[in-house]
Amino acid sequence: MQTHLLGAHALTRAVLPGTVGRKSGSILFTASMATLFGIPQVIAYSAAKSAYLGMVRTLATEGSSRRVRVNAIAPGWIETPMLRKALAGDKVRTRKILSRAPMAAFGSPADVGWAAVCLCSPAAKFVTGVVLPADGGVSSGF
C-alpha cells in the first residue's frame, strides 16, 4: 500500500497543482492485470492496485472540469528480464500463459509505451477515467 497507493497519491498531489494551473494535462498510472483478475498469492499487491484504480477514477472526475485527464494502463505479460527469470525453464507455465492470450504472444515494453503515448496524446483528448489493458487480449476473456 505504501509504494503502490500512497506513493502514487503523493506524486499526484505534487504534480496536480501545476497541471490544474495550466488547465491541461494527462496523468497516467500503471495498473496491473491483478486489478482485473483474482491472481493467487498476490493479495496485498492486488488490493493496492485495485485501490489505485479507485484513485484514478476519482481523480478523473475531479480533474475533468479543469481539463486534466487521468487514466491507467494495465500491462499484460510483457517480455522483460523479470518475466524471463520467472518463467525460466518452466515450459508448462509458459504454454499455459500463452494459451490464455488471444494473440498467443508476450508483449514488448514498446507495446506498453505506445499505449501510454496514445492515452497522453491529443488522440485521447476525450478519454479519462479508463484502464487500458495492454495485454494481447487476455482481459477480453478465454
DSSP codes joined into one string, 55-70: HHHHHHHHHHTTTEEE
Distance from C-alpha of 106 to C-alpha of 77, rounded to nearest angstrom? 5
Distance from C-alpha of 79 to C-alpha of 2, rounded to nearest angstrom? 27
Active site residues: 45
Q: Which residue has the cell 497507493?
A: 5
Distance from C-alpha of 119 to C-alpha of 116, rounded to nearest angstrom? 5
Length of the chain: 142
